[in-house]
Structure 1
Amino acid sequence: MLWYTIGIFLGCFIFTLLTIPKIINVVKYKNLMDDPGSRSSHEQKTPTLGGVSFYLSFVGTLFFIRNFAVYEEAIYLMPALTIIFISGLKDDLVSISPKAKLLAQFCAIAFVLYNPSFAITSLHGFMGIGTIPQLAGAVLSAFFMIVVINAFNLIDGIDGLAAMVGLVISGAYAFIFYTINQGFFVLLCLALQGCLLAFLYYNLSVKRKIFMGDTGSLLVGFIISLLTIKLLAVPMEDSFALPFLRENTPIIIISILIVPLLDTARVFIVRILNKRSPFSADRNHLHHLFTDGLLLSHKRASFFISVLNLLFIGLIMILSNYLGYKLLLPAFSLAVFLILLYCIPLKKNKERFEEKPEALKRLMEKKK
């Protein structure tokens, strides 16, 4: 198992590392570049479609790890990943409507939820909820998967952020699935990490930069969403081996996904309070607050947010071993409140620099 694990990780890493330059060449030759706009964080045309390499890696991985799947999950994931890939690819190339994208996501989710491995039948005592009806579990799963997929898509706004956060999330899930002996999902996490680590090499590059595009962010978000549902669907007999009190599972999941979920919730609430559509575009995401409010580079902002995500997971994971959900929930809420409190001066800095560009210019000169 150890050598197989190393092989899957290195295989995806090397494959992604070797295929992305080919994708960059094709994208440049066909002029499928991402043009900078008013909301863009880049200033020149940049190749996109890095997610094509992810799809090829995932399909290859599913072939090699299919024997580790107890419920033949690999067979169900093949069409699901293909649907997500096609919708993301079309959106990157010619753009598709939000309704069409949402329909594609529901179709992909249907393949996943048809497999009994992803059936949520209990919340293990969280908020006093034990067994839940199968239909209610399916509806909850579909809704949460849609939220996670699109929340992850929304954080892909600056260089390195989606990949770094994806590495933290998949690492946390790999650890948890390892403790409950879910080999298939451990290997899936490591395959995702191999792809993201190789992608970062190019995404943070100056001369050979590429974006993952919707093709990549939707694929990564989809993998993360199904890992999330799988953790919620862990059978009762396996839940005793979890590295935290099993009743805290929902809180642990939200802690792992805190960056995309908190960013999406915060942005939507701010837009609604400003009497705007929650789906309207702006530069009010968490990563924009760090780049515009603290004048951090993309690399530093992405690294800072990812470390914050890792520390948050570690804190809640440690507390979850000693506190039940009745005490852990207030601690979790307090931690989230402190993060939001920290965002207030960042927001003010961002607005000050927008109103007084000369102040921004002076600060930039001091940093040189």
Structure 2
Amino acid sequence: MDNILEYTILLISLFLIEWIYIKLAEKYKFVNYRKFENRSLTGYQQTIRGGGIIFIISILISVFLFSFHNYYFLAGLFLLTIISFLDDVINVNFRTRLIFHAVAAVLLLCQFKLLDLPIAYLCFIGVFIIATINAYNFMDGINGMTGGYSLLAILSFYYINSNIVQFTSAQLLVVTGLSLIVFNFFNFRGKAKCFAGDVGSIGIAFITLFFMGQLILKTGNVSYLFLLLIYGIDTLFTVFFRKIKGENIFEAHHSHLYQYLVRYLTLPHLYVSSIYVVSQLIINIVLLSLLAKSHVYIFILVLVVICVYLMVRFYLEEKKKQRIKFNLVKQHDDFFVK
């Protein structure tokens, strides 16, 4: 009962903090104008940036309430918060951001006590951490995506921690989950009051990696990485397709599958976000049921998901070509009409 009361008070406190942040951001014009291209929203909408700062605040609260002593992780999160918040405000150049991300990755390796590994392994893990942080950021493009997907990840970790193997602080998972509930209240809606911003998407990515690292080190099972399979597949294949098209993979784009679903099937943002969350939920349920069995079953699961993804992707690529062709014909006809 005491825990329920504490968490209720904490939930209300986080809600008030987020509400105050939104009011201050509105006052000081800390906003973006986001373009919508689906049947539920059209034109541009003014949206508060940086609402995901609540994720970092929840971790700081945990430090004081629950004697949280993972200081290397906290230092890495602090660095990412600074550079990401600055990037939300003044657009920091990519190289500077990359340096901060690399330092944060090293600090996370220190937290996991992995620095005695061979240099090749350290480089691979470091690149994976940086890539995951940025992939999470790239996926923060529509309402409900970051908040919904991250909440599912935290709930999955909590289930594993409670029912399969205890690998981290249950209190920390609950507090992180509460911050995501608060954020979703303001973001998981047709007209979002705020979105995560770099500070939120990168912050929650680093927090998720922290939990993921603890879980894998405790169990020795890297299959738990597939708890984030949808994000991973969408990011990897988007980069792959952009690369073979000769595009600069570091430039802003609208080539993710979720962006295609919004643009070329004109699905509302929350429909698309829900598709991602529900798909990952199904994968997580199947994955957890297969962990005690042969890795062959997990491989088949991943292969099936990739095949389904590619079928949808190729269908939408064709829709994209048809849209481009239609626009070119329309421009040609309009030119001669004028």
TM-score range, shorter chain: 0.7 to 0.9
Of 212, 229, 232, the match for 1:228: 212
Q: What do residues 269-321 of structure 1 show as CA deviations (whole Å, max 9, x unaligned)?
A: 11111111122222111211221233211111111111011111222222232
Instruction: Pick closer, same or farther for the CA change 1:39–1:223 going to 2, 3 Å.
Output: farther
| Cα drift, residue 17 of structure 1 | 1.4
The structure 2 residue matched to 1:22, chosen from 20, 24, 33, is 20
Q: CA deviation at 1:107?
A: 1.8
Q: Is the contact made by 1:160 and 1:204 (CA closer than 8 Å) also made in structure 2?
A: yes
Corresponding residue for 1:88?
84
Q: Summarize deviations over 1:253-278 as a string: whole Å, max 9, x none.
A: 1x211122112111111111111112
Distance 1:354 1:341, change over 3 A: same
**CA shift in 2, pair 1:15/1:287, >3 Å:** farther
The 5 Å alignment of 1:1-368 reads 4=3, 6=4, 9-36=7-34, 43-66=44-67, 72-73=69-70, 75-115=71-111, 118-119=112-113, 133=117, 135-178=119-162, 179-184=164-169, 186-205=170-189, 209-234=193-218, 239=219, 249-253=221-225, 255-323=226-294, 325-356=295-326
1:13-67 per-position Cα deviation (integer Å, ceiling 9, x unaligned): 323311222112211221121133699997122111212222222101122222x
Percent of aligned positions with the same letter in both sequences?
Answer: 20
Is the CA contact 2:51–2:196 (under 8 Å) kept in the aligned structure 1?
A: yes
Amino acid at match of 1:52: I
Report the CA distance shift for 1:275/1:135 in structure 2 as closer, same or farther (over 3 A).
closer
Alignment check: 8 A CA contact 1:15 1:57 kept: no
- Give the direction of change, closer, same or farther, for the CA distance of 1:12–1:109 in structure 2 (3 Å limit): farther
Q: Which amino acid aligns with 2:304?
A: L
How many residues are paired up?
324
Q: Distance in 2 between matches of 1:109 and 1:3?
A: 37
Could you tell me how far 1:182 is from its partner in structure 2?
A: 2.8
Once the two structures are TM-superposed, the CA of residue 219 in structure 1 deviates from its matched residue by 0.5
1:180-217: per-residue Cα shift (whole Å, max 9, x none)? 22342x33222221111111111134676111111111
TM-score by length of 2: 0.86
Aligned twin of 1:360: none
- Give 5+ residue unaligned stretches, structure 1: 122-131, 240-245, 358-368
TM-score using structure 1 length: 0.79
Q: Relative to 1, partners in 2 of residues 1:106 and 1:315: Cα closer, same or farther, differing over 3 Å?
A: same
Contact kept, 8 Å, 2:290 with 2:297, in 1: the verdict is: no
Give how far 1:84 is off: 1.0
CA distance in 1, matches of 2:10, 2:246: 45
Contact 1:120/1:232 (<8 A) preserved: no
CA-atom RMSD, angstroms? 2.8
